[in-house]
Structure 1
Amino acid sequence: MKSVEEINKLTEEDTDRIIQMAWEDRTPFEAIEFQFGLKEKDVIEFMRLHSQRSSFQMWRKRMSGRITKHVQKRVSVDPRFKCSLQRSISLNKISKR
């Protein structure tokens, strides 16, 4: 678990991105850990420190029990952090206008 000092050393851009990723339904905690080294407990502490009390409580209520926030609980076989609705890019196609 990271200390409060280590969490506070993150840049403002990193802080904003972690908050954004934490609020996104389809971004798993493992993606946050992969990019920033914060485990789920660290993200919870991070959100507690960087959110208003009511916002933190709303976030915790929203995230508790959410299957999409954990890679192991997902049904998807694809190990990448990618939305299944995202279009795949084909290099051989020319866009038509």
Structure 2
Amino acid sequence: MKYAQFTTEDIDRIIEMAWEDRTTFEAIKFQFGLKEQDVINLMRKQLKPSSFKLWRKRVQGRTTKHEKLRVFEKGRFKCSRQKQITHNKISKRR
């Protein structure tokens, strides 16, 4: 695939998104139109061989990179002490 349609900033953003654990390949496809294999090819072309190998090792089998494999828990982003926080102040523990 040709990447001439992308600016340097676009390619930098795609690489950044690919490195992020929580950004799925589906999100990259939605924003830039690149399938997972296209992202892999872009990373292979743009990164040093050692960096590409590190990235592939990190991404392979990671469930957070694939939307269908992700499991969301209810209240996932809620702090365990959330009930104690009011008006941006944390209540004192006793």
**TM-score, normalising length from structure 2?**
0.76
- Unaligned stretches of 5+ in structure 1? 78-83, 87-93
Amino acid at match of 2:36: E
| Structure 2 counterpart of 1:85 | 77
Query: Are 2:63 and 1:71 equivalent residues in the alignment?
Result: no
Q: Does 1 or 2 have the higher relative contact order (CA < 8 Å, sep 6+)?
A: 1
Query: Are 2:19 and 1:27 equivalent residues in the alignment?
Result: no
Which stretches of structure 1, 4 residues or more, deviate above 6 A after TM superposition?
Answer: none
Once the two structures are TM-superposed, the CA of residue 95 in structure 1 deviates from its matched residue by 6.9
**TM-score, normalising length from structure 1?**
0.74
Q: CA RMSD in A?
A: 1.9
Report sequence identity in percent: 57
Structure number with larger C-alpha Rg: 2
1-structure distance, mates of 2:62, 2:15: 17
Q: Larger % of strand: which?
A: 2
| Structure 2 counterpart of 1:48 | 44
